[in-house]
Structures are given as structure tokens and as C-alpha cells.
């Protein structure tokens, strides 16, 4: 199941090669000469009896395979629990050759003759008797039944339907089902659970994990002194109801979906309107939005009344610099779609779907066709902002309506004065507004003609003129210029080499720069539209770019002519009918008005500015980075992922594999299905209660963030290259609980937080460390260091500087130098604007905060389902000497003097309560007092910020 070239160089050995189950893969990919040099004298002697495959070999292989990886493996695995798989071996040859011990690579691995090839590498080796049994089996011809059928493809464990397992019997009263499952798995270790944590430790653990903030001393005292039997249950409910909960858990989800607030790549521009998606996620957690709705909205929120949710689709990096090389441009688009597909797969399904972009998935039963079927669903998603308006209250709606009425009335009055000015400058005739890039309308008396020609004599910047569409309307209001109506375009010449600027775009009914015509001559050119039969026309509408993305190349001096007969043309409209083109001067029209009219116009301008600001304030509309949508072109399967090697057309669809009976991947879509319907159908498929992957993946994420490691150690890979669950029955029980309780995430979290497993002490025990050093079987609560965001938030909370304002645009920890290529420089000074929670930080791709970026903080360039936890000198230096920590140490010292006075003992006591939620002991008071007397109170505060007790969850 691995790439043989990688394995031949010793890669990917850490996890999957820890079992004899896959030893044949490794040996089969090693150099043949290595396996040919087996010294038989060094091998344990062969068993001196007939060896039966079913009675002797199969149980032996199962002993060293199934306990680590389970009996069900993926398509393409080499399985030692079948004789056929053992004889077949790897991609470069068999692992066992009947009757030939010296050339059977399996033996050199299991006999530990070569340290590099030894199997299993990190586990106890097979005994001499076991190796001798395998040797005898090979010498006797490796006989056994034909079990080729059993060696065939297997359905991955995670694809099987979720069946609620029976809760194991538990002798301990008052425990929850979670505890029963944990105890059942821990029983073979013969390690008892740890005693319950004390109340101060427990409340601090609860707050740090669920809020990312320490409890206040008052909250600690209230809980410690609450003697009611349900004190802890009520505390958990209060914690889950706090808005701090949503901020904490939203940060986890933003890691999973690669959210950041810049484009990345070389220009790396800030996305000013990305924050609505972040706020949507925070609100979703705080309101306990059902997870199935949460999933649906992020795929198709524009169709479900949750516009901000589609920020998920375009949260990844985006290269806005396009290349004139069509190959590079097409590959850029393929990369954009791959980002959406892969993030959807990892976030919701725990599948690395991106691996099927160029070939069949190597580890999971996902053919290449499935990848492009999903691409056909997302092909209409464009990385771009779109108008967005947050929800308003009823009173705000009334105020907005009133402000808009005032704005409309004053706008009409000002336009009347502008019209008066245009008549004055036009010698009594009203001039049309000056040309613009978005929309220009020419009206004239009806005229019968067979063709219309536009001659351009000058442009706004002297470059080749550009037209994205020319529409010509008859007396019935029909656009007779469309190619679909039989009208043929011609031109003086077309700029060569650009597919998006062809002559055919002039009248194809599509607007925008990507569907436009550009002349081959600088500053001039002509286009002509010939009708299939005479038409009587009265209006022409034309534009350079109706999306207003580009404002260059606008025709400023021009004329429209209609053909009267074969030799004569008549001018029907011209630029002379418009105000002169030039820089915008909002007061230029005042020169043509009387003094009274000019004064009235100035008053209206002032009022309009105020009214527009009021309307903007009430509507809070912005161009938010939530993606735009368009009907996609047909999608082809690409040979080797090469956009220039198109193969058959692939219609939109889900995964072809069956995730349980009655739940196929077919979505009932076709190549003609509307773009939005495609995403809605996929969203329903992802969030279906019959989909076993979606609930399993999410409850595993919750377990991961509560206990530090998921029941599946690879939270975004539930496929063949991922880990198997340590507690499969518990995983399925939680997944079923999620579905049966309305997809409530808080319900699942409550199950975990109320369990004795969560409430036990984290103190080490020799017996437990010996049997399970990583606490995988949860004989204690596994301690761990906080993440970067929680460390910074806790420092601000302790110093009293934390600003708990929620929502809206975020803050920067870098100085932003705006140019074509944005540049970022770390801030050295920090004020109230930087004291918000770090979830509101404008996270810049490829740039890190100078202090906390070193604490394994992801930049958003890729999905981060599980953060690494490094320990580096830079972390210690930043946390001890950085301007931010020095500043907050001074602020904490000031707070201690305010709260506790000038007595060191009182200051120390208050500091320990604020930072560690407990009283200091006698030794700590003595050591801290000496530190304060010698180096000052701020130095003591800095030392506490760097203590393990402050930085870790225990």
C-alpha cells in the first residue's frame, strides 16, 4: 500500500511498518541482493514437525498483525492473514518462495538479521520458536488453502455503517458510557484509573480546554465552595453557554479548513472581507448549530440563508497573478479546485481526495473519475468577494428604510441640478454623463438598418480599446445584436494570443473582462455588427467591463453609425453627446449653475455624504471574501492531472463507493444541472445520517481537542493511510450519539467533560507509565502544552488587558506596507487594538507573529487538523524577552499592586490565583519574595508567564 520507491529508501516506516502485516511490502522493495545474502547458520532452526498453515501460521501472523491494525485492510494491501497475500508479496516480487528459505525476504525481516529491515522495528521481535515455525513452513513448500478470495479488496473500516455498540459492563457506580468503553480497553493493561483531580485543577482544566482562558479567582472559589452534588454539571453547562466557548472552538475549526486573511503567494494581499466567515463559525459553535446544518451551509450556504458560511470554499490561498501562458493559467485553476476538493474531503469525510487528482487513489477506493466528478460540483466556485450584509434587528430595518428614502429624495434633487448644468454646457441640449467602464447607453430616433459600426478614435489610457459587450435593441426591446440571433461581428483587428479577448465575445451575451474584445491597434479600431435581416433600432448599450474590475482601455472618443444602404452610413450617436471625459471633479458642474443653485447643490452634496454613511452603517454591507458562483463548463478527466490532456467528460457526482446499504454516492445530477443544485446535493450527501464518515470524523475531532489525541490519531485521514481507532466501539457510540441527539456538538462535549475519564488526575504513576507511556488508554488525563493563541490570551487575561469585544474586522500584529506586493513587518509596540483574543487576529499567510508564531502556529497555507508541539529555544526567548511579554509583565505587576497592595506575600498569592488558580505554598512564597526583592515585581510576573504550570493543561 506504500510507494515502493519511498519504502526502498526507508521512508514512511514510523507507523505502518510497526507490524509484520506489511513486512512483505518492505522486503519486496529492497534490493534483491540484500535478501539473497541470508546466512542460514544465523537463522533459528526450523521446527521439526509438519507445519499446518491454518493451525500454526495463520494464528502466528494474526498475533503480530491484527492487534495493531485490525483484520480489515485496504485495497492493495499485502495481508499476512491470508496465504495468497503472503505468497504474492510486494510490487517487485514475492515475499515467500516455497521451499527456498534463502531467497524468501520475509525471513530476514522477522529474524532481525538486519537492523534496518528488522520487523517489527519498535516492538518485541518474534521468538526463535516462532521464526523456526515460519522457516519450517517455507521449507515444507508453504502449503495451505487457496484463499485468494479472502485476500481481495476490503472495505475500509471507516466506510462501514455506524451501529450503536452495547456499552460494556462497568462495576464503578456513577460512571458514564464513555468511562465504560475506556475501562474495557484499559483492562488488559491491568492499570487502574487515576484518582479524581482536585477541584482547582479540574476547573482550570475545563476552562483552558473549552475557553482557552483561565478561570477567574472568583469563579474558582465559587466552584470549590459549591457543595451541591451537581456543582460540576452546572459548571460545565455554564462553560458551554459562554461566548468564550465559541471563540475557542472556532479557532480549532479554522485550522481544519486552512482559514487565513491574506491571499498568499507572492503578492499576499490582505483579504479585508474574510472575517464574516470567522464570525459565522464562532456563532455556529456558540448557538450549538446542528452539525449537519453546519456542514450543509459551508458547502451551499448561499442557497440556505447562510451567506457567510461559503467562506469555507474559498478560505485557501489564491494566486491572483495570472500568466499569459495558458498552461500555467489552467494549472492555477486546477490548483484552486484541488484546494476546495481536498479540504472538503479532509474536513468532513476524513479522506484525502486530492490524491486521486492524477491517478487512482493509492490507499483508498477512490478512482480518478470520482475526483473529477467532485470537481464538476465545485467548478463554478470562484475565488472572489461578493456583497454581504449581516443580519439586522427590526428597529435597524426601520431606520435603514427611512435613511434610504431621504437618500433617494436628495439624490433626485441633486440630479436635477446636474441635468440643468449639462444643458447649460451643451448649449441648451442635455449632455449624457461622461463614459465609464461599466455601462453606457446611447438613445436615438428609430432607424432601419442592416448593420451598426462603432469607430473608436481614442481611449482613456491610450491602450488598445476593449469592449466586453455591445447590445443593440429594437423597438420591442429585443437585443438583436446577439450572435444567437444570427448577427455576425467583424473588426479592424483583434489583439492576438488571448482566448479571453476574442471578437466572438463582442456579442455572445456574456460580460466582464474575461469575455471581451480588444483591438489590435493602440487607441483606435472599429467593430461592426451585421444583422441577418433589416432591423429598426433605437438604443445601444455598451461597456468595457460590467464587473468594474478594469477601468483602462475605455473608448472616450467614438461614433456609432447605421448603414442606410450599400454605400451610405449615418451617425446615430457619438462621444460629442456626452460630458467631456476626464478626472472626476465632484464640483465641476457647479460652474454652470447660478449662485443660488450652486449653493443648493453644495448643501445636497453634504447631506448626501452623511446619508450615505448612515445607510452604510445600518446596512453594514461589504464585499466579503465568500466566493462567487457561475455555471461551469463541462469537466473532463485529465490524464495525469494535466489540463492539456483532456479525456472523457465527467458529470457532477459524489463518490462512487457505497457507504453502507442504501446509501450510494450517486447524486442524480447531470452536466446540465445548475451550479447551486450541484453543491446542495453534495451538501445533503455529506450531512446525511446514513453517511458513516461525517459523524465519525467530527466526534473524533472533539475527542482530539479535549484529550489531546483523537481516538483516530490522524483526524483528517480515516482512509488506508491513516491510523486505526484505538477505541473503535467508543468512536461508533459517540457518532451514533451525535446523530441521535440532533447533531448537537455540545451534547457530545458534555458526555466527555462529565466523564470520570476527563475528571481524573493527570499525575504520573509508575505502573501506568510502564504499560502506556503516552496515556493512550487514558489511565490518567494526558497533560499537554497550550497552543499559541491560548497562551497569548491567558497572558492578556492575567494582566487584565484582554479585550473581549466579539466579531467584526480583526487586528494586525504586523505593520502592513500596501503595494502591488504586500509587505509585513512585526509590530514592536502594542496597544488596546492588539489586546483582543487571538482568534480575531488577521492571520497572514507566510508570515507569523514574531512572538507566538514560534509556538507551532499554522499560517493557513494548508489544512492543520493536528498541530505539532515543538520545544525550541526561540519559544523560550520570545516568552521571556519579547516586547509583548515585557509589557504584559509590567501590566500584571501594576494589577497586583492595585489588587493586593505593596506586600510581596499578598502580591504573590494574588498572582498564583490569577495565573494558576491556586494558592502558593510556603516554598513558593519564599522563593518568589526573594526574586521580587532582588529583581522587582515585573520580573516575578515574567517568571510566572514562563512556568510550566501556566503554559500547560494538567
Q: With bands split at pLDDT 50, 70 and 90, how would you rate the model's confidence at 70?
A: very low
Residue 591 burial (CB count, 10 A): 11
What whole-number distance in Å separates Cα of residue 12 and Cα of residue 22?
Answer: 12
Average pLDDT in the 892-916 region? 96
Q: How confident is the model at residue 693 (pLDDT cuts 50, 70, 90)?
A: very high
Give the contacts of 492 (CB within 8 A, at least 6 positions apart). Answer: 519, 520, 521, 524, 525, 526, 527
Lowest mean pLDDT among 59-63, 454-458, 941-945: 59-63
What is the DSSP annotation of 491-509? ES-B-TT-GGG-GGGGGSS
Query: How far is residue 85's CA from residue 142's CA, in Å, rounded to a whole number?
Result: 12
The answer to whether residues 460 and 554 touch, using CB atoms and an 8 Å cutoff, is yes
Is the pLDDT confidence value at 814 over 70? yes
**Segment of 91-95, 204-208, 428-432 carrying the highest mean pLDDT:** 204-208
d(CA 410, CA 414): 6
pLDDT at 516 over 50: yes
Backbone angles phi, psi at 692, to 5 degrees: -75, -20
* Mean pLDDT calculated for residue range 136-143: 86
User: Cα 206–209–215 angle (5° rounding)?
Assistant: 50
Helix (H) or strand (E) holding 247: helix 243-256
What pLDDT is attached to residue 876? 92
Identify whether the C-beta of residue 108 lies closer than 8 Å to the C-beta of residue 34: yes
Summary count for the chain: helices (H), strands (E): 31, 18
Q: What is the DSSP string of 150-198?
A: TTS----GGGSPP-PPPPPP--STT--HHHHHHHHHHGGGT-PPPPBPP
pLDDT the model gives residue 611? 80
Tell me how far apart the alpha carbons of residues 671 and 678 are, in angstroms, rounded to a whole number. 10
pLDDT of res. 16: 34
**Least confident window among 335-344, 604-613, 669-678:** 604-613
65 has pLDDT over 70: no
Of 130-134, 232-236, 251-255, 675-679, the range with the lowest mean pLDDT is 130-134
* pLDDT above 90 for 165: yes
- pLDDT higher than threshold 80 for residue 392: no
**In the predicted model, what is the mean pLDDT of residues 495-500?**
93
- 68-82, 743-757, 907-921: least confident range: 68-82
Provide the mean pLDDT of the chain: 87
pLDDT in tens, 178-209: 999 999 999 999 999 999 999 999 999 999 99
Q: Which percentage of the chain shows pLDDT scores above 90?
A: 66
Cα 142 to Cα 151: distance, rounded to the nearest angstrom: 16
Candidates 655, 637, 794; CA nearest to 209 is 794
Q: CB neighbours (10 Å) of residue 595?
A: 8
pLDDT over 70, % of the chain? 89
Alpha-carbon radius of gyration of the chain: 35
So what's the pLDDT on residue 607? Answer: 80
CB 878 within 8 A of CB 853: no
Which residue matches cell numbers 452546572?
A: 234
Give the range among 33-37, 335-339, 941-945 with minimum mean pLDDT.
Answer: 33-37
The predicted pLDDT at position 174 comes to: 67
Tens-place pLDDT, residues 777-791: 999 999 999 999 999
Are the C-beta atoms of residues 866 and 704 closer than 8 Å to each other? Answer: yes
Q: How confident is the model at residue 138 (pLDDT cuts 50, 70, 90)?
A: confident
The pLDDT score that the predictor gives to residue 724 is 94
pLDDT recorded at residue 72: 34
What confidence score (pLDDT) does residue 836 get?
96
Q: What is the mean pLDDT of residues 822-832?
A: 91
Q: What is the mean pLDDT of the segment spanning 265-288? A: 95
Which candidate, 563, 351, 347, 529, places its Cα nearest to that of 449?
563
pLDDT value for 146 = 66
Residue 682: pLDDT over 50: yes
Per-residue pLDDT band for 147 (boundaries 50, 70, 90) equals: low
Q: Over the stretch 857-874, which tens digit does the pLDDT of each residue have?
A: 898 889 999 999 999 999
Start-to-end Cα distance in the chain: 39
Using pLDDT thresholds of 50, 70 and 90, give the confidence band for residue 117.
Answer: low
Task: Give the strand pairing for 952-953 and 784-785.
Answer: antiparallel
Give the mean model confidence (pLDDT) for residues 428-442. 85
For position 59, what pLDDT does the model report? Answer: 80
Is the pLDDT at 92 greater than 90? The verdict is no
Pair type for strands 386-388 and 517-518 = unpaired
925-944 per-position pLDDT tens digit: 999 999 999 999 999 999 99
Strand, coil or helix: 600: helix
Most confident of 8-17, 846-855, 922-931: 922-931
Q: Which of 600, 82, 715 is nearest to 345 (CA)?
A: 715
Confidence class of residue 69 from pLDDT cuts 50, 70 and 90?
very low
Most confident of the following: 156-170, 432-446, 885-899? 885-899
Examine the pLDDT at 81 and tell me if it is beyond 90: no
Report the pLDDT value the prediction gives residue 371, as an integer from 0 to 100. Answer: 95
Per-residue pLDDT, 96: 83
Spatial separation of the C-alpha atoms in residues 659 and 252, rounded to whole Å: 27
Paired strand residues for 474? 537
Which residue, chain included where needed, has cell 446525511?
688
Q: Provide the pLDDT confidence category of residue 19 given band limits of 50, 70 and 90.
A: very low
Confidence of residue 4 (pLDDT cuts 50, 70, 90): very low
How far is Cα 907 from Cα 292, in angstroms, rounded to an integer? 49
Average pLDDT, integer, range 288-306: 97
pLDDT of 795 higher than 90: yes
Find the mean pLDDT for residues 259-279: 94
Q: Cell triple for residue 872?
A: 525550541
Stretch 557-571: mean pLDDT, rounded? Answer: 93
Amino acid at each position: 500500500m506504500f510507494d515502493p520507491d519511498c519504502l526502498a529508501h526507508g521512508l514512511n516506516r514510523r507507523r505502518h511498518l510497526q507490524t509484520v502485516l506489511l513486512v512483505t511490502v518492505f522486503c519486496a522493495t529492497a534490493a534483491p541482493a540484500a535478501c539473497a545474502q541470508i546466512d542460514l547458520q544465523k537463522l533459528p532452526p526450523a521446527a521439526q514437525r509438519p507445519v499446518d498453515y491454518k493451525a500454526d501460521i495463520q494464528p502466528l501472523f494474526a498475533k503480530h498483525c491484527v492487534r495493531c491494525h485490525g483484520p480489515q485492510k485496504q485495497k492493495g494491501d499485502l495481508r499476512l492473514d491470508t496465504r495468497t497475500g503472503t505468497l504474492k508479496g510486494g510490487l517487485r516480487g514475492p515475499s515467500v518462495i516455497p521451499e527456498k528459505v534463502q531467497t524468501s525476504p520475509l525471513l530476514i525481516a522477522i529474524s532481525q538479521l538486519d537492523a534496518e529491515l528488522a520487523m517489527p522495528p519498535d516492538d518485541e521481535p518474534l521468538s526463535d520458536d516462532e521464526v523456526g515455525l515460519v522457516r519450517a513452513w517455507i521449507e515444507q513448500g508453504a502449503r495451505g488453502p487457496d484463499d485468494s478470495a479472502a485476500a481481495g479488496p476490503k472495505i475500509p473500516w471507516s466506510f462501514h455503517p455506524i451501529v450503536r455498540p452495547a456499552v460494556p459492563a462497568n462495576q464503578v457506580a456513577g460512571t458514564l458510557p464513555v468511562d465504560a468503553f475506556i475501562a474495557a480497553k484499559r483492562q488488559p493493561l491491568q492499570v487502574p484509573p487515576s484518582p479524581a483531580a482536585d477541584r482547582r485543577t479540574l476547573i482550570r482544566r475545563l476552562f483552558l480546554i473549552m475557553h482557552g482562558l483561565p478561570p477567574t479567582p472568583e469563579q474558582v472559589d465559587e466552584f470549590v465552595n459549591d457543595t451541591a452534588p451537581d456543582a460540576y454539571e452546572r459548571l460545565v453547562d455554564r462553560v458551554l453557554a459562554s461566548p468564550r466557548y465559541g471563540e475557542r472552538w472556532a479557532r480549532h475549526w479554522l485550522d481544519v479548513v486552512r482559514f487565513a486573511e491574506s491571499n498568499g503567494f507572492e503578492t499576499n494581499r490582505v483579504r479585508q472581507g474574510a472575517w464574516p466567515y470567522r464570525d459565522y463559525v464562532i456563532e455556529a459553535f456558540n448557538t450549538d448549530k446542528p452539525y449537519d446544518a453546519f456542514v450543509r451551509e459551508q458547502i451551499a450556504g448561499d442557497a440556505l440563508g447562510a451567506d457567510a458560511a461559503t467562506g469555507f470554499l474559498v478560505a485557501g490561498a489564491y494566486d491572483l497573478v495570472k500568466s499569459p501562458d495558458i498552461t500555467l493559467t489552467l494549472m492555477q485553476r486546477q490548483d484552486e479546485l484541488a484546494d476546495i476538493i481536498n479540504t472538503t474531503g479532509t474536513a468532513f469525510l476524513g479522506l484525502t481526495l486530492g490524491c486521486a487528482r492524477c491517478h487512482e487513489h493509492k490507499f483508498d477506493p477512490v478512482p480518478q473519475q470520482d475526483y473529477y466528478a467532485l470537481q464538476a460540483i465545485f467548478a463554478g466556485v470562484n475565488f472572489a468577494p461578493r456583497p454581504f450584509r449581516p443580519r439586522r434587528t427590526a428597529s435597524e430595518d426601520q431606520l435603514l428604510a427611512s435613511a434610504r428614502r431621504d437618500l433617494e429624495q436628495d439624490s433626485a434633487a441633486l440630479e436635477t441640478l446636474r441635468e440643468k448644468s449639462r444643458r447649460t454646457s451643451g448649449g441648451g441640449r442635455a449632455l449624457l454623463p461622461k463614459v465609464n467602464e461599466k455601462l453606457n447607453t446611447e438613445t436615438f430616433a428609430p432607424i432601419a438598418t442592416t448593420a451598426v459600426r462603432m469607430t473608436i478614435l481614442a481611449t482613456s489610457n491610450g491602450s488598445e480599446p476593449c469592449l466586453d459587450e455591445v447590445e443593440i435593441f429594437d423597438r420591442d426591446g429585443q437585443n438583436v445584436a446577439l450572435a444567437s440571433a444570427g448577427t455576425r461581428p467583424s473588426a479592424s483587428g483583434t489583439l492576438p494570443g488571448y482566448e479571453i479577448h476574442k471578437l466572438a465575445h463582442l456579442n455572445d451575451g456574456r460580460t466582464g473582462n474575461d469575455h471581451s474584445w480588444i483591438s489590435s491597434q493602440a487607441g483606435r479600431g472599429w467593430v461592426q455588427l451585421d444583422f441577418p435581416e433589416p432591423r429598426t433600432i433605437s438604443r445601444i448599450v455598451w461597456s468595457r467591463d460590467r464587473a468594474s474590475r478594469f477601468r483602462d482601455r475605455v473608448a472616450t472618443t467614438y461614433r456609432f453609425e447605421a448603414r442606410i444602404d450599400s454605400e451610405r452610413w449615418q451617425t446615430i450617436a457619438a462621444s460629442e453627446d456626452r460630458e467631456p471625459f476626464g478626472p472626476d471633479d465632484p464640483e465641476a458642474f457647479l460652474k454652470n449653475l447660478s449662485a443660488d443653485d450652486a449653493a443648493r447643490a453644495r448643501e445636497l452634496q453634504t447631506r448626501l455624504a452623511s446619508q450615505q454613511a448612515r445607510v452604510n452603517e445600518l446596512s453594514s454591507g461589504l464585499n466579503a471574501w465568500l466566493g462567487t458562483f457561475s455555471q461551469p463548463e463541462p469537466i473532463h478527466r485529465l490524464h495525469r492531472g494535466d489540463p492539456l490532456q483532456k479525456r472523457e467528460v465527467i458529470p457532477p457526482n459524489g463518490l462512487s463507493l457505497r457507504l453502507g446499504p442504501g446509501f450510494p454516492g450517486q447524486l442524480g445530477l447531470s452536466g446540465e444541472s445548475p451550479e447551486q443544485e450541484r453543491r446542495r446535493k453534495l451538501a445533503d450527501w455529506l450531512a446525511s445520517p446514513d453517511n458513516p464518515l461525517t459523524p465519525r470524523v467530527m466526534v473524533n475531532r472533539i475527542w482530539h481537542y479535549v484529550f489531546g489525541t483523537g481516538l483516530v490519531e490522524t483526524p483528517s485521514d480515516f482512509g488506508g493511510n491513516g491510523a486505526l481507532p484505538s477505541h473503535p466501539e467508543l468512536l461508533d457510540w459517540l457518532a451514533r450519539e451525535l446523530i441521535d441527539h440532533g447533531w448537537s456538538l455540545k451534547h457530545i462535549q458534555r458526555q466527555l467533560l462529565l466523564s470520570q475519564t476527563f475528571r481524573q488526575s493527570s499525575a504520573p504513576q509508575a505502573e501506568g507509565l510502564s504499560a502506556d507511556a503516552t496515556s493512550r488508554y487514558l489511565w490518567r488525563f494526558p497533560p499537554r502544552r497550550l497552543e499559541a493563541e491560548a497562551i497569548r490570551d491567558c497572558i492578556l487575561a492575567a494582566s487584565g488587558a484582554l479585550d473581549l469585544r466579539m466579531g467584526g474586522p480583526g487586528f494586525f500584529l504586523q505593520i502592513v506596507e500596501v503595494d502591488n506586493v504586500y509587505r509585513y513587518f512585526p509590530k514592536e509596540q502594542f496597544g488596546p487594538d492588539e489586546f483582543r483574543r487571538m482568534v480575531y487576529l488577521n492571520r497572514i499567510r507566510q508570515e507569523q507573529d514574531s512572538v507566538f508564531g514560534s509556538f507551532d502556529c499554522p499560517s493557513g497555507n494548508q489544512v492543520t487538523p493536528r498541530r505539532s508541539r515543538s520545544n525550541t529555544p526561540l519559544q523560550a526567548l520570545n516568552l521571556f524577552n519579547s516586547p509583548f511579554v515585557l509589557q504584559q509583565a509590567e501590566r500584571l505587576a501594576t494589577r497586583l499592586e492595585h489588587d493586593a497592595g505593596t506586600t510581596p506575600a499578598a502580591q504573590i498569592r494574588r498572582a498564583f490565583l490569577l495565573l494558576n488558580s491556586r494558592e502558593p505554598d510556603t516554598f513558593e512564597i519564599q522563593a518568589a519574595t526573594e526574586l521580587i526583592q532582588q529583581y522587582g515585581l515585573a520580573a516575578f510576573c515574567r517568571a510566572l508567564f514562563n512556568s510550566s504550570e501556566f503554559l500547560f493543561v494538567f
